[in-house]
Amino acid sequence: MRFGFARIITTSLLLACSLGSSTALAIVDVQDSYSSVLEDGVTNTLGFSFSGASGNDDSSKAEISEHFHWRANATTLMFLASWERGDSNGNDTADNSFAHLRYVRRLTDTFAIESYLQFQQDQFVELQRRRLLGAGVRFELWEQQNDRRLAVGAGLMQEYERYTGATDETRELRANLYASVSLPLSDGGPVFTLSSYLQPALDDWGNLRTVNNMSLKADIAQAFAVKFSLGYHYNGEPVRGVDKGDFKYATSLEYTF
């Protein structure tokens, strides 16, 4: 793969082994992906995962993910996408997809404006489709010597959702508030990241969605890294039959070449 406008090209293969399952809920944390690439140029990460079993449990699960990142001077363009399907003994256990496109324009060393588009669907929270368009401001600090980063953002987003069995599409104007911090635990050691999102509906603050994610990533060889993550998602007004809270925990192995 070659891009003439880039001076850095990195292609990665992500082999993910999920230890817990969580469907693609309303809020998806993209801050870890955004801050994972800081140099100008192009980075493309493709992820593939397939698992299965036969005998007492006939099951299979497939996941595909894409992370495209382009930085040039004060501009960043990022695209994320994922697809997951799974079944066990003829019953679906996963059926979701996600796509996110984000544009960030840095105005100063610490201040930026951003806009984004997003699409989601998830059978297991009865989400037939979700579309949103948003924009906001972003404040970011990066201590290059110690690789410590802090990002705080605020903005508005227009959300469109349709749930299974619903005749109409719901529309909400929401605030989008987030904070993310990334701290190396030692020089060249594991990196701890914590991100939090708050998205209340402007006409009903009880209609609140939040997510809190934390992760620990450590290099285990020159080209390999292992990552552990834990997250909690909350939806103040889910559809009937869907829990308000959901946990997600996973581990993944990354190989870069």
Instruction: Report the residue count for the chain.
Output: 257
pLDDT for res 191 = 87
pLDDT for res 255 = 63
H or E element, residue 124 = none
pLDDT for res 145 = 59
Q: pTM value?
A: 0.76
Supply angle C-alpha 81, 84, 90, rounded to 5: 165
Please give the Cα distance from 48 to 15 (Å, whole number): 6
Per-10-residue mean pLDDT for the chain, 257 residues long?
A: 39 41 54 72 79 74 84 92 83 83 94 95 82 95 75 95 81 94 85 92 90 89 81 83 82 66
pLDDT for res 103 = 96
Supply angle C-alpha 44, 210, 238, rounded to 5: 105
**In a domain? residue 212:** yes
**In a domain? residue 192:** yes
Q: Which amino acid is at 154?
A: A
pLDDT for res 65 = 82
**In a domain? residue 63:** yes
**In a domain? residue 4:** no
* Residues 59/89, Cβ–Cβ less than 8 Å: yes
pLDDT for res 31 = 72
Identify the CATH number of the domain in which residue 243 sits.
2.40.160.40
Cα 248–chain centre separation: 12
What is the domain range of residue 177?
9-256
**In a domain? residue 1:** no
Count of structural domains within the chain: 1
Nearest 5°: phi and psi at 226? -115, 145
Please give the Cα distance from 30 to 80 (Å, whole number): 8
Nearest 5°: phi and psi at 203? -95, 0
